[in-house]
Structure formats: structure tokens, C-alpha cells
Chain A
């Protein structure tokens, strides 16, 4: 197990390198000149050239690439052209906000999906099942930029329970987390329901009963445990849409996270900031996947058995 973790961590570097290279090429190919965006249209050509030289943007792309790589290896993520701050500092400041959002939405999703999913699985075909499925479908099929304002209209304007937007304390994260977590909870609920349904009628239930455990115990202990594996898979698979959702949620709720930072930096052609953000996101993905894999290892002894083979 430990060897595997080490190996995966080592592989982190070439993967990040691959991602950074691709992003570097793409951002530099996209039309749009940051010098134009900074200096505006009326600047003199000579001024433009001076600034371009000062930023190293006059050099051919491969040279810029090597300069960036050299810088990166030394731990310098560069400076934002626009904000005149170190990229690393900017990202760290925003990352905290994005983590809060992502974490809260996963919790919200779990809190909604588990009770609903288990309840529907226990009585398939009942009204509860149908209504839960319906709620899940609605949750999974509304776009984030629609759900957000609707929630605000219902729970903020009308009642005053939560602030409309912005990051200002625990009450301000509820609506964004709900918005982002809604679609995740829908997928999760379906998965929980179907994996519980698969498990409940199966043989080991009989085995467990034979062991003398009560029915409630059976459901909660064994089925629960077995559902965790597909759930973790789903959660890690949904990371991609979670990221896109985060970008949109942050824009809607004016939440100051990395998602918004990426959008702004792409618009401004703030190359080093874009690249820094991408490295950050890529690293998060890979580490999260690794954690998911480790969790599998912990939960399923069969994996560990096979390890030793």
C-alpha cells in the first residue's frame, strides 16, 4: 500500500508537467494580447514593445516556455500581470474560499442523498420512493445559474435568513453549498438507492440474519458499508463537474474563489496566473483521486489481499 502511494505521488510530477505544457500552449495560442488589454488601444507602438520586452513576451514561445519551467522548478509561480502580486499568494488566498464551498456542497449532498436514498431503497415503489426520485431528478437537472437565484429569491429575499451573496460567515455559505450540492446529491441518491437495492435482497442478508442480527442492524451496517465503494467512485468521478459548477456558483454568488480567478485571468490573458491556477486544480484532482483509491484500499480487504499476491 505504501509503495503504491509513493508511486502515485511520484507520478504526480509528470502529470502536472503534461497538464502545464498543454495549458501553456493553449493560452499562448488563443488570440488576444495581454499588452493590448493592459495598455489599451491608444498606447504608442514603442511603449507596447517596451512593455512586451519587460514582460518577456517578445521571445518565441519555446523560449518563454523554458523560462517558465525554470522558474517553476525553483518554486516561483510568477507574478500576475494585472494584479501585480505573486501568483502563489493570490491562489492561496482564494483556495480557502473554494475549499469551503466544495467541502460544504459535498456535505450537503451527502446529508440529502443518504436519508433519501436509503429510505427509497427500503420501500421501492412506494410514494416515498417516487417522490424522492422526482426530487433527485429535479436536483440533477437544473443548471446551477438557475438554481442559485431561485434559492436566493426563496430563502434570502423573502425570509432574510441568508445573505444574498458574498462570503461573510457561515450563513453565507448555505445557499451556495445547496446550489452546488444539489446536482451532486441527485447522482449520489440514485447511486445509494441502486446499490442498497442490489444488496438488500442478497445472500449475505440471509447469512447475517442467520447470525442473529436484527434487520435494522443489517441494513445499516452491512449495506451501508458496501454502498461506500460506489459512492466514493461517484464522488471522485463528479469532481469534474464539481469544478465547473464551482466556477459558475462562485460567479453567481460572488464567492471569491479560484473558479472566478481562473475566468478572470483567462479573460485578461494573465498567462502566469492561468497557469498557476491550472497547476493548483490539477494537483487537487490528482491528490483527491489518490485519496479515493486509498479509501478503497481501506474499505475493501479484497484489494489488500490482492496486493500481497
Chain B
């Protein structure tokens, strides 16, 4: 006996008619079941959109708790729910939010006095105890906060009064102000705080359907002027084309970044949409592994810098939505050094440098390369496109580039382990230049710090250390100017560009200002003007 269950054949088989009839009926029934409700619900859900703004996001916010958020989407959302002591305004200047006064009388202490009568979404008043709780809970390693290392210079927090407290530091830290920009949570934050976040921001949490929508409702008791509209909804749409289609059809009112520059002309022609731009603080670059035998040679790196031609990439691919950069810092930054050497596109000079470095082209103009390098990148379409162009440009000086694009987790892991030769990435949210220390100081080799290329220069080390200890801006500026000069000569990175933030939104939104650091908080201050 065999288990011949699967019999695929066309054998005659007579059965009662009624079973067949019922099967046909089932089909008819299912057909009606689908069609009728569809017809009935044909008129699109015209929910009251007069009092609501819908924003399209490309991915889920991973954390709503401001102590845990790390990715930009989470950061953008939590700034609606939570207020920090200090923040950056749209031009990157520090402004006081919850704090009424911020004193920094000696290098080891910051004293904050907060406004009175600020309320959390649950009605309780904000006191200095909530602030202390926020920071102390943050430092517990088991809490799993990516921001805990930011506070390693913090010694203790002293409560002076209900509205006043002092942060005592272990050592002077020029960038401590950034720590004071973390959103404040109530000290009564419970175990399910993730699911029901409570803050002092202009919007309060309504509900979150993971992978679908996140809804916030305006908070009437906001300590500044509450929002002019009731609902702020975030719709999560992973596909770029779909986000654009939703924007064009009115299903979504607002998108910031996250689309390729090629779409912009089409959006500009749309009479219902408005476009807003501002240069951001992001910095895109090509990183070298300085322990690689080929790339440890400075002449090779310089040759690559000269072989690359940024102009056509910026013009045709990025549609001038970036500004070419010579430094980690964007041109408006207070510590930016405008007199840094540039690497002009010069194929001939590049060839000479490579010859001098000892890598002769084996067949002159022929197909054989001097050497081959692997260029690792993520799956971001724009980055991949640019990598392809760079590879093409470098082939004209006899360098063969193998492009390898990986899924993010794998890519990131390789970069952190130093398992690469060249890669390209973007530093986001650059504000205080102390970030230089984490990226270029020899104590911060990856995976400990951000020095992924294992760059080592003792002069840079000293400069960065002294610049991080003093508060004086002029003093720091001098140091960072020298740092930028040396880095431009050593070329651990090839500087590419700073991108422009672009927001596209429905004309009904009035008064939106793009922030330099991509923060969306300006949405809480807009007014809606519905056309009849």
C-alpha cells in the first residue's frame, strides 16, 4: 500500500451534481462579497482633513522614548512629544525651550532654571526631579540607551529647588550642551512607557499601529502656544514612488527628504504643492581604510581625490541639491575654515601621482588596471548610483573598483570591524565640532569610537583634546581651523558634499520652516488654510 495521496491526473470522476452546483454558488457568492462593499465604499473616506496633517515616513520610528531614540525618524517624532531643556533653532543656534535660564559659570557645572507651570500630557507639573530622573535613568547600561555614553562626563545632578538644578561634570566638556537637548520624561515613567509615552511637547500620543500609522493629538495645555490643528498623523510608506503618489493624490500632506532629486521637477510643476529648501548639516564622504597596504600611501589617496570629478555628479545626479564640501563642517558653521586646499579634477596629475606611488599602469591606456579596490556601500539607490559613477571615473586612471552593496546590518558590521577598503557614508546632525574627536582621534578606533579608517596623527590628537576642554569659542575655532587644514592634507576622508534638506508639502500648510538639522518641529507652529 502506498500513500498515493497526490494524484495529478485527469481521470473520469462522477459525483453528485449538487456538490458542483454549491461550488459554483460559492464562487458567485464570494464575487458578490467583494464587489458590493467595494462599490459601496467607492467614495474615498473623506474624513475631516481640515484639522489634520498627514506626514509620510519611509520607515517605522523604532523608539518613541527620547532616551532611546537614535535614528532620525524616531528623533523627529519624539520632538513633537517631548521638550528638551535646550534645542537648536532652524538656523542651528541654541535656544532655550524648557529652560528659562542656562548658566555655565565654571567649566565643571551647568545650572538650569526651568519655566514654571509647564505640564506633562498627564496633567502633572514639570519639576527638576523629572529632569534628574530622565538623565539618571539614561545612564543605566541595562536601560540600553545609545545616549548613555554622551553623559560619561557627568558626575552628578544636584537639585537646588523645584525649578532649579545643577549638572556637575567630571571634566570640562565643550559639547555638554548637546546632552541638554534630550527630551525630558516624567519621573513616574512606567514600564509601558514605550507604548504610552508622556512628555511636555506640543502634541500628545494618541495611538501607534506599528508599520501603519502613528497618531498624535494637539496638547491644549502646551506651555507655549498650542498647535493650530488637532491631529498630526504619520503614515509609514516604505516605497518612494508610493510616497510621492500619496502626496500628489492628497493622501499625504507633507514629505521631507527621502526621495531622489529626479522627482523634484515633477513636484515643482504641481500647483497644489509647495517646495522649501535649506542647507543641512549632513556630510557625505568617501572613507579610506588607512591600514590597507595600498591606501595607507598618501599619494594614492591624493591621486584618487584628483581623479574624482564631483561637478557632473552634483549637476546631473544630485540636481544641485548639495553643496560641495571641503570639510566635515558645513560652510555656515562657526568653526568652518574657508581656506582649505581643494583637490581639482586633474586626470593627468592623478596618473603622475600613482606612478610616483609605485603603481605603474601595466598597459598604459589598456584595460589592465594598476590595482583593484573594493568599494562597499549600503543599498541606498542614490549612493549606489554615485558609487558607479566614481568607479567609472577612477577607471580612467587605471584603478579598478569593485562595487559591493550590502544590506545595512551586514554593511555596518563590516565598517565597524574595519573590514573594508573604501566606503561611502554620511555623517548626520553635525553640530558641535567635538565630533571630530570621535571620528579622527587615535583613541577612538572603531569599534570603540567612530574612527573607522584607523587614522592616527598625534598632532591632531593634541589639537582635538585641547579644543574639547575649553569653552572659549575663539580658542576652539583656531584649533579646529588647524585640524581641518591637516585633515585636508592627510586625506583620511575625501570630502564630498553637504546635502540640502527639501520639504514638499500641500499648499494648505502655511508658515513651515525647515530646520537645518532636519527637525520637523516647525509643523507644530503652522496654520492650515483650506481652499473652499
Contact B449 A42 (CB under 8 A): yes
Q: Does B146 contact A (CB under 8 A)?
A: yes
Interface-located stretch among B239-247, B365-373, B482-490, B520-528: B239-247
A253 (CB) vs chain B CBs: closest residue:
B242
One digit per residue, 1 when the CB lies within 8 angstroms of any chain B CB and 0 when it does not, for chain A 30-41 equals 111100111111
Which applies to chain A's interface (DSSP): helix, strand, loop or mixed?
Answer: helix
Instruction: Report the separation of the CA atoms of residues A303 and B7 in the bound assembly, to the nearest whole angstrom.
Output: 8
Instruction: Report the separation of the CA atoms of residues A105 and B6 in the bound assembly, to the nearest whole angstrom.
Output: 24
One digit per residue, 1 when the CB lies within 8 angstroms of any chain B CB and 0 when it does not, for chain A 126-169 equals 00000000000000000001000100110011001101111111
Contact B13 A300 (CB under 8 A): yes
In the complex where A31-B410, A166-B213 touch, is A296 in contact with B6 (Cβ < 8 A)? yes
Q: Does B104 contact A (CB under 8 A)?
A: no
Q: Which residues of B contact A299 (CB under 8 A)?
A: 13
User: A279-309: which residues lie under 8 A (CB-CB) from chain B?
Assistant: 293, 296-297, 299-303, 306-307, 309
Interface-located stretch among A17-25, A59-67, A69-77, A224-232: A224-232
B173 to chain A minimum Cβ distance, whole angstroms, is 14
B409 (CB) vs chain A CBs: closest residue:
A32
Q: Which residues of A contact B12 (CB under 8 A)?
A: 202-204, 207, 222, 226
Instruction: Report the separation of the CA atoms of residues A257 and B54 in the bound assembly, to the nearest whole angstrom.
Output: 22
B148 (CB) vs chain A CBs: closest residue:
A47
Q: Does B44 contact A (CB under 8 A)?
A: yes
B235 to chain A minimum Cβ distance, whole angstroms, is 6
Contact B44 A233 (CB under 8 A): no
Contact A164 B249 (CB under 8 A): yes
Q: Does B316 contact A (CB under 8 A)?
A: no
A115 to chain B minimum Cβ distance, whole angstroms, is 10
Q: Residue A164 contacts which of B146, B242, B450 (CB distance < 8 angstroms)? A: B242
Q: Does B41 contact A (CB under 8 A)?
A: yes
In the complex where A41-B449, A300-B7 touch, is A225 in contact with B144 (Cβ < 8 A)? no
Q: Which residues of A contact B249 (CB under 8 A)?
A: 156-157, 160, 164
Contact B245 A169 (CB under 8 A): no
Contact A174 B27 (CB under 8 A): no
Interface residue tally of chain B, by bracket?
35 or more
Q: Which residues of B contact A260 (CB under 8 A)?
A: 211, 238
Q: Which residues of B contact A44 (CB under 8 A)?
A: 148-149, 152
One digit per residue, 1 when the CB lies within 8 angstroms of any chain A CB and 0 when it does not, for chain B 18-57 equals 0010011001001100100110011011000000000000
Contact A164 B9 (CB under 8 A): no
Q: Which residues of B contact A264 (CB under 8 A)?
A: 60, 211
Instruction: Report the separation of the CA atoms of residues A307 and B1 in the bound assembly, to the nearest whole angstrom.
Output: 7
Contact A195 B27 (CB under 8 A): no
Instruction: Report the separation of the CA atoms of residues A296 and B13 in the bound assembly, to the nearest whole angstrom.
Output: 12
Contact B142 A54 (CB under 8 A): yes
Instruction: Report the separation of the CA atoms of residues A256 and B12 in the bound assembly, to the nearest whole angstrom.
Output: 44
Q: Does B8 contact A (CB under 8 A)?
A: yes
Q: Does B141 contact A (CB under 8 A)?
A: yes
Q: Does A82 contact B (CB under 8 A)?
A: yes
B150 (CB) vs chain A CBs: closest residue:
A42
Contact B413 A36 (CB under 8 A): yes
A93 to chain B minimum Cβ distance, whole angstroms, is 8
Contact B27 A110 (CB under 8 A): yes
Contact B242 A254 (CB under 8 A): yes
One digit per residue, 1 when the CB lies within 8 angstroms of any chain A CB and 0 when it does not, for chain B 392-435 equals 00000000000000011110111010000000000000000000
Q: Which residues of B contact A82 (CB under 8 A)?
A: 62
A-B residue pairs in contact (CB < 8 Å), sample of 18: A32-B412, A39-B70, A42-B146, A50-B142, A51-B142, A104-B34, A145-B239, A164-B246, A165-B246, A169-B41, A171-B42, A202-B10, A226-B12, A253-B242, A254-B239, A256-B209, A299-B13, A306-B1
A interface vs B, CB < 8 Å? 4, 30-33, 36-47, 50-51, 54, 82-84, 90, 93-94, 104, 107, 110-111, 114, 145, 149, 152-153, 156-157, 160-161, 163-171, 174, 195, 198-199, 202-204, 207, 220-222, 224-227, 229-230, 233, 251-254, 256, 260-261, 264, 266-269, 293, 296-297, 299-303, 306-307, 309
Which 8 interchain pairs have the tightest Cβ spacing?
A32-B409, A40-B146, A50-B141, A256-B211, A204-B12, A47-B141, A31-B413, A32-B413
Supplied contacts A199-B10, A306-B4, 17 more A-B pairs, CB within 8 Å: A39-B70, A39-B144, A44-B149, A45-B448, A46-B141, A51-B141, A51-B142, A54-B144, A83-B210, A153-B245, A170-B34, A220-B24, A252-B242, A267-B408, A293-B6, A300-B11, A303-B5
